[in-house]
Amino acid sequence: MDKTKIINPWYVGVVSGMASYIDSAAIVSNGTALVIYQKAIGITSADIGVLSGVLTLCIAIGAFLGGRLGDRLGRRKVFIATMAMIVLGSLMLAFGKVFVVLLAGTMFVGLATGADLPVSLATIAEAACDKNRGKIIGLSNLLWLVGISTTMGISAVVGGWGQLGAQIMYLHVGIVAAVLLLLRWTIPESPMWLLARDENRRGATTVRAQKSSFKDLLHGKYLWPFVALCFFYTLVNLAANTGGQFGTYVAVNVVGITVEENSLWNLLLMPVGVLSGLLFMKMVDTSKRMLVFIIGAFFFAGGFFMPVLLNFSPLSWFCFLLFTATGSGMAFEGIMKVWSQESFPTMLRSTAQGAIVGVARLSCALLAFVTPVLLDAGPVALYSILSAIVALGMFIGWLCFHRQQRNEFSSEGEMVVEIYPRVPLLPTEAMRTK
């Protein structure tokens, strides 16, 4: 197979973007299947807590490692290896009956899922062009929603089947990963990465050849977008993750609706998130990108404040779900991925993306330990804090990217210019020998 042949970027976008499908499907499946295993094979509540925490931690670690390996070894090697690891891990989770096997399977799936995200996004971005890059990256967000809805649908059917139901949920993840493994063999290595690697080996002085060390992210023109994206994604993700993790608890115990009503409202509003994502895909590659982001930011931050404003009434909760579904498609993961891909050169692209995702996921895992304390302070305090956190994150994103659009794809071929201090020349007379 010719590993440098050109492939339709939308095909690359779907096959690589399914990393987001695997991400959401693995997390949702694990949460449901472990509860089923508690009765079916006798794992304890402590075991469930450990396995859930290990999955989150391994996704964060995997993002750090996978991002760096993707820049060092190439996109293709990493995104094929990650799918193989997910297949193996899913089989261990489906057929393992002791804690050690389940722990190993969880680690495989978590590390591989985290590692796949930054590498797959870099593959998509480098296969696309300026006219469609944002659209194709945005497609991964829709696939993330499809992963959630598909897994919830499977859970609704097999949730009462005992151990077999849990096995089906894990095998769903494994089968999708196996199909993707076969499809990814048809995707060649990124031509941009190959060019950057070859220039780096030759010692070329282009940006893409010279800017390849992690320390390059920590100074110069890459520091501000890297720090801004870390804060933007971490802060907004903290609120989104906390709201999602404890949303049902608040809906039932504070708002006063049933679990079924809350689930139904979430299901009914899922098309809103899809439409919001489609709007983002339509506008992200145009001059209206920042306008869409600002509108989405107001919706998302305002959504968390609606329960506080309307005293946690059922109407306030519906507005919260509606506004956050609208805002997330326009001003959350999609724009973070686009900014991350555009802000860094080829040999740092997946490294930066992996670090940004890893910092956010790790922060969410750590916050889970103190969230119960925030709940004890009362829902008004919690949701006021969440709204403020989102607003701060959105402001940081706007502050960094509201001016001229960054695009390393169009500038990384330029020569690196080193600035040296000027040394005064000796006068001609002083150089003469007597």
Radius of gyration of the chain (CA): 24
CATH classification number, 7-189, choose in 1.10.1740.10, 3.90.1150.10, 1.20.1250.20, 3.40.50.2300: 1.20.1250.20
**pLDDT given for residue 96 in this prediction:** 96
Average pLDDT estimate for 57-83:
97
C-alpha 247/C-alpha 320 separation (Å) is 10
Question: Residue 50, Cα to own-chain centre: how many angstroms?
Answer: 23
CATH fold match for the domains 7-189 and 212-405:
yes
163-184 helix and 133-158 helix, angle to the nearest 10 degrees: 150
pLDDT tens figures, 195-252? 999 999 999 999 998 998 999 999 889 999 999 999 999 999 999 988 877 788 889 8
Tell me how many degrees the CA angle 114-332-30 measures, rounded to the nearest 5. 40
Q: What residue segments make up the domains of the chain, in order of their start?
A: 7-189, 212-405
Kindly state the helix (H) or strand (E) to which residue 331 belongs, with its residue range.
helix 314-331
pTM equals 0.91
CATH assignment, 212-405: 1.20.1250.20
pLDDT tens figures, 352-398? 999 999 999 999 888 877 777 777 778 899 999 999 999 999 999 99
In terms of phi and psi (left: phi > 0; alpha: psi -120 to 50; beta: otherwise), the region of 312 is: left
**pLDDT given for residue 244 in this prediction:** 76
Which residues, including other chains, have CB under 8 Å from residue 414's CB and lie 6 or more apart? 206, 207
**pLDDT given for residue 431 in this prediction:** 37
CB 180 within 8 A of CB 186: no
- C-alpha distances (whole Å) from 311 to each of 135, 255, 316, 397, 407 are 38, 9, 7, 30, 44
- The DSSP output letter for 219 is S
- Say if residue 117's pLDDT is above 50: yes
